[in-house]
Chain A
Amino acid sequence: MDAKEVSAPVAGGSFLISETAPGEVFTPEDLNEEQRLVGQTVRDFVEREIVPNLDRLEEKDWTLTRDLLRKLGELGFLGINVPAAYGGAELDQVTSLVVAEELSLGGFSVSYGTHIGIGIGPIAYFGTEAQKRKYLPKMVKGELIGAYALTEPTAGSDAMGIRTRAVLSPDRTHYLLSGTKQFISNAAFADVFNVFAKVDGDKHTCFIVERATAGFTVGDEEHKMGIRSSSTASLFLENAKVPVENVLGEIGQGHKVAFNILNVGRFKLAAGCVGAATHVIREAIGYAKERQQFGKPLAEFGLIKHKLAEMAIRTYVAESMVFRTGGLVEGTLQGLHGDPAESMRALEEYAVECAINKVYGSEVLGFAVDENVQIYGGYGFMEEYPAARAYRDARINRLFEGTNEINRLLTTGMLLRRAQRGRLDLIPAAMAVAREITEPSLSEPVDGPLAEERRLVNMVKKAALFTAGVAVQKYLDQIEHEQEVLAGIADLVIEAFAMESGLLRALRALQRDGAERAAIKIAMIRTYINDAIPRIDATARTVLAAVEEGDTLRTELAGLRRFLRYTPINTVAIRRKIADQLIAHGRYAN
């Protein structure tokens, strides 16, 4: 990022209430030479080391998994965000997005992501000097592999409801941990586990537990729907003796470890989903060009073109928001990468954006793998073809790192909390929109390139603010009990961030590369925005109808209509053009 001027830090969530100029966002086109070389290297590694071994990995050859992790360690990829003092590369968060995007092939990427994200991450971010010195250098080399154990049979999304207990030994040298952890990634072969337990019954605390600890055992491997090349098993702790110096962070502050690490996880998960979608698009194009029906390749049929184009459009939008968020985080870090606590704070500032990325990225991938199966037709249903595995592997992304339902609730919840604490001027903005709706004309004359799309993005933000304002006024602090309303508002916010991210990227490309080279990006975002408006309208109407009734509702719906009026464009023609470009390139390209 050093080539690009770093703008003053932008408040998390502020995209909703302020306009962003194309020059202020980071886009994949802004990656510097080193970041692109990192991407190319990981891409080559995946092609040469992982793709040929997919079947062996799927058969749970853990020796191979560990060998591959060690190789990545030798190349420095396990210590991307770890300070140099502990053997890491101390790189920026955008580079870690590039790596996450490229290393996104099925189960192995889960083994890798678990190790560096929730294995190494908590120790790098919250460890004492002694803990960091003891574990990080070996973990960065891939000699020790990490895992993370929060979930329990009765505590999934309800992460604070864990039952595992930690009791201080009479001589005060150890904690004795007892309980059961489940769905633990890397369990079969990890050496170091970050385990959450409650001290004195209520103090949520994280502990570093080594595999060889007496009283610690790993259960049988789960049989999963997808990501079968990753390990998932239960952990059993029966008075497992953990030295007091292995408390990670402070006693009673385990939730800080858990929640902060989740921000990083969501941030990277979305990048992985984009990478996986890119991979799937390539396979879909390859198959559509090869498979003949009625005497011509599938790729020549309009409905197949529609699918390919739509897969690419949504991937483009997801990719735009992922890198935009990366740029926000980096903007706050101002090039400081040696202090993990700083990274943590930067990611926390953008916790709303991280949650949005997670939901949006995983749902784009879900869409892409589903359409991929459809393009493969009956063969898509057969396990010998890659479409089925991609379909199964994608499903987990909507579940882990917080289900998409939890992340939707968080998106709205965190925005409202930021407003309450005065960190985001949401309330004045919502009140201004409420006033505007009664005025005779909406004051939004927009000209210049993509004027209509820019107008619509503004209007969608207004619709989201308006809807949220109505709901908050009605429910006040009881709104947390109205999950459907919160999730509906989240969908409006997510769409606003999505379309704006894609639009700003297209505008930036237009400024820099000219109309011809930005043509596909423009086509993609125009199509996306066109199709998003009716979805947004329907969601906002559902929320409003749940909150109000009678004349008030009718007035509000009339207001909403004013915000969201638009004239549809010919997306059939545009999608064909996008698809033709994809087919010519043989891969996702824009």
Chain B
Amino acid sequence: MNIVVCVKQVPDTEAPIRIRPDGSGIDESGLNLVMNYYDEHATEAGLRLKEQFGGSVTLIGVGPERTKEALRTGLAMGADEAILVSDVALLGSDHLGTARVLAAAIKTLPHDLIICGKLSTDDNAAIVGPALAELLGLPQATAIAQLEVDTSGGTVVVHREVEGGVEVLEVPLPALLTVERSLNEPRYPSLPGIMKAKRKEIKTMSLADLGVEVPSVGATAAKSALTRLVPPPKRQAGRMIEEDAEKAVAEIVAFLKNEAKVL
């Protein structure tokens, strides 16, 4: 089974995010960048399928040169190959642009299954996976929490956690899946894995290599633009009411009515 996993490099979720003073983005200096956690689960899903059915796992990322570090993590987990599409013309590209680039790259690869994280923890958009499926004309199932392959029928059966229950879908291959974190527990890269990954070459491709026209993916093609990024408002300190029950209740009700205006 030929599996392609899409990988994005994002700031470590534990790192405090500092927004650039002009609101144009986040300040990346000194920020620890890692593979998007959902993509770790996507990689794990791919590796398990490969272990079960054979084939290969190819990682693909779009971003600056440093994205190779995230791809290297996936190689160290056990992926066979990695490709980075990197091009200055991609600056200012929106999610759809990224999906177009991925689609162009994936078209050049044999693929039975494409696996993406449900979303990336930096911008939480959850757009690239579904857009990519559309562009490739593939069936898709998003946010899956369970995955089984029916080799006889050439389909996958997936579970999606929906309000009040579980939705079970059968999807014909080739297909695109986006995964939930509850799908699996990603493995740690092993020391031999890390050393093996070190020797693997990460293929870097430009838009020209893929035959993608710059105007279709860069800032000019973007259907949405970032206006500005603002930090969440500072949380106000709580107020303690230290009265006996009767008085306290009255005060809280008054607060809910007059200040919070929820009653």
**Which residues of A come within 8 Å of B, CB atoms?**
33-34, 36-38, 40-41, 44-45, 74-77, 79-80, 89, 91, 292, 295, 517, 584-586, 589
* Pairs A-B, 6 closest by C-beta atoms: A76-B191, A89-B191, A75-B190, A586-B16, A34-B198, A76-B190
Alpha-carbon distance A92/B193, docked complex (angstroms) = 16
Q: How far is the CA of A78 from the CA of B189 in the complex (A)?
A: 14
Contact at A37–B30, with CB atoms within 8 Å? Answer: no
**Binary CB contact string for chain B from 193 to 235 against chain A (1 if under 8 A, 0 otherwise):** 1110110000000000000000000000000000000000000
The answer to whether residues A292 and B237 also contact, given A37-B76, A585-B16 and a CB cut-off of 8 A, is yes
Instruction: State whether A37 and B73 are in contact (beta carbons under 8 Å apart), knowing that A89-B195, A584-B18, A586-B16 are contacts in the complex.
Output: yes
- Interchain nearest-CB distance for A588 vs B (Å): 12
19 contacts between A and B (CB under 8 A): A33-B68, A33-B69, A34-B72, A37-B72, A37-B73, A37-B76, A37-B197, A38-B191, A41-B188, A45-B188, A76-B192, A76-B193, A77-B191, A79-B191, A80-B191, A89-B192, A91-B195, A517-B30, A589-B30
Task: Count residues of B near A (Cβ-Cβ below 8 Å).
Answer: 23
Instruction: Return the chain A residue nearest B40 by Cβ.
Output: A44
Nearest CB of chain A from residue B262's CB, rounded to whole Å: 26
Find out whether the CB atom of B29 lies under 8 angstroms from the CB atom of A517: yes
B residues apposed to A, CB below 8 Å: 14-16, 18, 29-30, 34, 68-69, 72-73, 76, 188-195, 197-198, 237
> Does the CB pair A34–B18 fall under 8 Å?
no
CB of A34 within 8 A of CB of B194, answer: yes
Q: How far is the CA of A250 from the CA of B29 in the complex (A)?
A: 54
Query: Contacts of A77 on B, CB cut-off 8 Å?
Result: 191
Q: What residues of chain B lie closer than 8 Å to A33, measured between beta carbons? A: 68-69, 72, 198
When distances are taken between beta carbons in the complex, the residues of chain B under 8 Å from A292 are 237
A339 → chain B closest CB, angstroms? 18
Q: How far is the CB of B15 from chain A (nearest CB, A)?
A: 8
Partner of A34, one of B29, B34, B195: B195
Q: Which residues of A contact B237 (CB under 8 A)?
A: 292, 295
A584 pairs with B194, CB closer than 8 A: no
Report the minimum CB–CB distance from B43 to chain A (whole Å). Answer: 14
Contacts of A585 in B (CB 8 A): 15-16, 30
Q: Which residues of A are found within 8 Å of B188, using beta-carbon distances?
A: 41, 44-45, 75
Q: Across the interface, do A584 and B191 meet the contact criterion of CB distance under 8 Å?
A: no
**Given A45-B188, A89-B191, A584-B18, 14 new contacts (CB under 8 A):** A36-B69, A37-B72, A37-B194, A40-B73, A41-B188, A44-B188, A75-B189, A75-B191, A77-B191, A79-B191, A292-B237, A517-B29, A517-B30, A586-B14
* Cα of A80 to Cα of B72 in the assembled complex, Å: 20
List the A side residues contacting B16 at CB < 8 Å.
Answer: 584-586
Complex-state Cα separation, A51 to B95, whole angstroms: 37
Q: Which residues of A contact B72 (CB under 8 A)?
A: 33-34, 37
Instruction: Enumerate chain A residues within 8 angstroms of B73, measured Cβ to Cβ.
Output: 37, 40
- Docked CA distance A58–B238 (Å): 36
Q: Which of B188, B191, B195 has the most CB of A within 10 A?
A: B191
Max chain B CB contacts within 10 Å: which of A44, A74, A76?
A: A76
Please measure, in the bound complex, the distance between the C-alpha atom of A36 and the C-alpha atom of B190, giving whole angstroms: 13
A510 to chain B, nearest CB (A): 15
A-side contacts of B18, CB under 8 Å: 584
Q: Point out the residues of chain A lying under 8 angstroms from B190, CB to CB.
A: 74-76
Contacts of B193 in A (CB 8 A): 76
- Give the CA-CA distance A75 to B195 in the complex, in Å: 12
* CB <8 Å contact, B191 and A40: no
**In whole Å, how far is A426's beta carbon from the nearest beta carbon of chain B?**
40
Alpha-carbon gap, A40 to B40, bound state (A): 14
Contact B195 A40 (CB under 8 A): no
Q: In the complex where A584-B16, A584-B18 touch, is A41 in contact with B189 (Cβ < 8 A)?
A: yes
User: Which residue of chain B has its CB nearest to the CB of A517?
Assistant: B29
Complex Cα–Cα for A292 and B236 (A): 13
Q: Is the CB of B194 within 8 A of A38?
A: yes
A245 CB to closest chain B CB, in angstroms?
Answer: 31
- The closest CB in chain B to the CB of A35 belongs to B194
**Whose C-beta in chain A lies nearest to the C-beta of B237?**
A292
Considering the chains assembled together, what is the distance between the CA atoms of A33 and B199 in angstroms?
Answer: 12
Distance (whole angstroms) from the CB of A136 to the closest CB of chain B: 15
Inter-chain contacts of A38 with B (CB < 8 A): 191, 194
What residues of A have a CB within 8 angstroms of the CB of B189 in the complex?
Answer: 37, 41, 75
Q: CA–CA, A589 to B195, complex, Å?
A: 27
Alpha-carbon gap, A36 to B193, bound state (A)? 14
In whole Å, how far is B76's beta carbon from the nearest beta carbon of chain A? 6
Taken together as a complex, chains A and B put the C-alpha atoms of A76 and B192 apart, in Å, by 7
Contacts of A41 in B (CB 8 A): 76, 188-189, 194
Q: Which residues of B contact A75 (CB under 8 A)?
A: 188-191
User: How far is B56's CA from A212's CA once the two chains are assembled, in angstroms?
Assistant: 46
CB distance from A577 to the nearest CB of B (A): 15
Closest to B69 in A: A33
Bound together, the chains give a CA A79 to CA B195 distance in angstroms of 13
Chain A residue at smallest Cβ distance from B191:
A76
A547 to B191, CA, bound (A): 53
Point out which of A36, A37, A74, A584 has the most chain B C-beta atoms below 10 A from its C-beta.
A37
* A586 neighbours in B (Cβ, 8 Å): 14-16
Q: How far is the CB of A284 from chain B (nearest CB, A)?
A: 15
| Chain A residues near B191 (CB-CB < 8 A) | 38, 75-77, 79-80, 89, 91
Bound-state Cα–Cα, A38 to B190, Å: 8
A208 to B76, CA, bound (A): 36
